[in-house]
C-alpha cells in the first residue's frame, strides 16, 4: 500500500520508465501556425533539442534539466530562450545544455551571448545556482542518464558538429538522426545494435527541391529511401520528422510512392513514439 502522495508520484515516475516510449514535443522542420519545431521529451528532466518546449510543456518545462542538442540551428534551440524567461522565478534547477564542442561554442557565441539574449551562465537562480551550464559531449560515448536509461551521440552530415542520438531505456532503444543529408552512420548503428526498435529520420523537402535539400544538408523522400535500401534489418519502426509544413501533403504523397516495405509513420506534435 502506497501511503503518501510522494510515494504515489514516485510510483508513477517509475511506471513511466518501465514503458518504452518518448514524446514528440515538436515534429516539424520550421515553425508555422499550429506546427512546432524539433524536440523530444525522453523523461521528465531530459529532452533532445528545444524547438517546441514552451507550447508543449508550459510550466512543466521548469523540470527540464538536461537539453541534449543535435546542432545549433534556430529551429532546435529557440525555446531555450523562452522557457528560461517565462519561468525564471519558479525554476529550481540549472539547465544543462549538452552537445558537441562546435554546437556548444555556437550557442555561447551567437545565441546566449548578452547581445541576442542574456548570457544565462552568468545569471543566478533564486537559489544562487547559475541558470545555465554547458557540457561538451563526445561522439560515440554512452552517457548514463539514470539506472535504466542512457544516451549516445553519433555524427551526422548537417553542420560541422551536428549529431544524432541513440536513447536506450531498459532493453530497447530509439535512434534519432535529426537533420542530416546522409544516414550512413545511422545505418551502421542500426545494423550493429538490434536493441534499436525504432528509428526517426528527417525528411525536409519534396523531391523537386533535391538541389536545395543537398545544399542545406537535408533529405527528400527519394534520397531517404534510396539510402535506406542498403539496410539489411527490417525489424524496426520507421518514423519520419522535420517535414517543412508548407510541403506536408506533397512530401507525404512522395513518401508513399517510395516507402517500399517500410510502413513509416509521419510524426506530429504530441505523438508518442514506441520502441
Ligand atoms: Zn532543423
Ligand atoms: Zn538544421
The CATH number of domain 22-274 is 3.60.15.10: yes
- CB count within 10 Å of CB 231 equals 16
Asked if 161 and 102 touch (Cβ cutoff 8 Å), the reply is yes
Q: Give the pTM.
A: 0.93
Q: How far apart are CA 266 and CA 243, in angstroms?
A: 9
β-pairing verdict for 163-169 and 149-155:
antiparallel
Residues with CB under 5 A from ligand 2 (ion): 73, 179
Number of H helices, E strands in the chain: 8, 14
Distance of CA 175 from the midpoint of ligand 1 (Å): 16
Q: Residue 163 Cα, ligand 2 centroid: separation in angstroms?
A: 10
Alpha carbons 16 and 42: distance in angstroms, whole number: 10
SS (H, E, C) 171-239: CEEEEECCCCCCCHHHHHHHHHCCCEEEEEEECCCCHHHHHHHHHCCCCCHHHHHHHHCCCCCCCCEEE
What is the 10 CA–ligand 1 centroid distance (Å)? 35
Is the pLDDT reported for residue 5 higher than 80? no
Pairing between β-strand 39-41 and β-strand 21-26 as defined by DSSP bridges: antiparallel
Q: Is residue 207 predicted with pLDDT exceeding 60?
A: yes
- What's the pLDDT tens digit per position in 8-50? 666 666 666 668 999 999 999 999 999 999 999 999 999 999 9
Say how many Å lie between the CA of residue 264 and the centre of ligand 1: 20
* Ligand at shortest distance from the CA of 159: 2
| Confidence (pLDDT) at 71 | 98
> How far does the centroid of ligand 1 lie from the alpha carbon of residue 75, in Å?
5
**Average pLDDT of the residues of the chain:** 94
Of all ligands present, the nearest one to the C-alpha of 202 is 1
pLDDT of residue 14: 64
Distance 218 CA to ligand 2 centre (A): 8
With pLDDT > 90 as the criterion, what percentage of the chain qualifies?
91
Ligand 1 centroid to residue 18 C-alpha, Å: 30
Q: What angle do CA 271, 61, 24 make, to 5 degrees?
A: 15
pLDDT in tens, 118-138: 999 999 998 899 999 999 999
List, for residues 223-263, the tens digit of each pLDDT value. 999 999 999 999 999 999 999 999 999 999 999 999 999 99
Q: How many angstroms separate the alpha carbon of residue 14 from the centre of ligand 1?
A: 32
pLDDT in the model for residue 103: 98
For position 1, what pLDDT does the model report? 46
Q: Compute, in angstroms, the gap from residue 75 CA to the centroid of ligand 2.
A: 7
Amino acid at each position: 500500500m502506497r501511503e503518501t502522495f510522494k510515494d504515489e508520484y514516485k510510483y508513477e515516475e517509475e511506471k513511466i520508465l518501465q514503458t518504452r516510449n518518448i514524446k514528440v514535443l515538436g515534429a516539424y522542420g520550421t515553425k508555422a501556425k499550429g506546427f512546432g519545431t524539433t524536440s523530444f521529451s525522453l523523461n521528465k528532466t531530459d529532452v533532445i533539442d528545444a524547438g517546441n518546449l514552451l507550447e508543449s510543456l508550459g510550466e512543466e518545462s521548469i523540470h527540464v534539466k538536461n537539453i541534449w542538442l543535435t546542432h545549433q540551428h534556430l529551429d532546435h534551440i529557440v525555446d531555450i530562450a523562452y522557457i528560461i524567461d517565462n519561468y525564471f522565478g519558479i525554476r529550481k534547477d540549472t539547465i544543462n545544455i549538452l552537445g558537441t564542442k562546435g554546437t556548444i561554442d555556437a550557442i555561447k557565441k551567437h545565441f546566449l551571448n548578452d547581445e541576442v539574449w542574456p548570457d544565462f551562465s552568468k545569471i543566478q537562480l533564486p537559489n544562487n545556482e547559475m541558470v545555465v551550464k554547458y557540457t561538451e559531449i563526445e561522439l560515440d560515448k554512452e552517457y548514463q542518464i539514470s539506472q535504466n536509461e542512457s544516451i549516445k551521440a553519433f555524427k551526422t552530415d548537417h553542420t560541422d558538429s551536428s549529431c544524432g542520438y541513440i536513447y536506450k531505456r531498459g532493453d530497447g532503444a530509439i535512434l534519432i538522426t535529426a537533420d542530416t543529408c546522409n544516414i550512413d552512420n545511422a545505418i551502421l548503428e542500426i545494423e550493429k545494435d538490434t536493441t534499436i526498435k525504432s528509428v526517426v529520420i528527417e525528411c525536409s523537402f519534396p523531391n523537386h527541391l533535391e538541389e536545395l535539400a543537398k545544399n542545406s544538408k537535408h533529405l527528400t523522400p527519394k534520397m531517404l529511401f534510396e539510402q535506406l535500401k542498403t539496410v539489411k534489418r527490417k525489424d524496426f519502426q520507421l518514423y519520419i520528422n522535420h517535414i517543412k509544413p508548407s510541403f506536408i501533403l506533397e512530401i507525404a504523397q512522395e513518401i508513399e510512392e517510395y516507402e517500399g516495405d517500410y510502413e513509416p509513420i509521419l510524426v506530429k506534435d504530441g505523438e508518442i513514439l514506441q520502441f
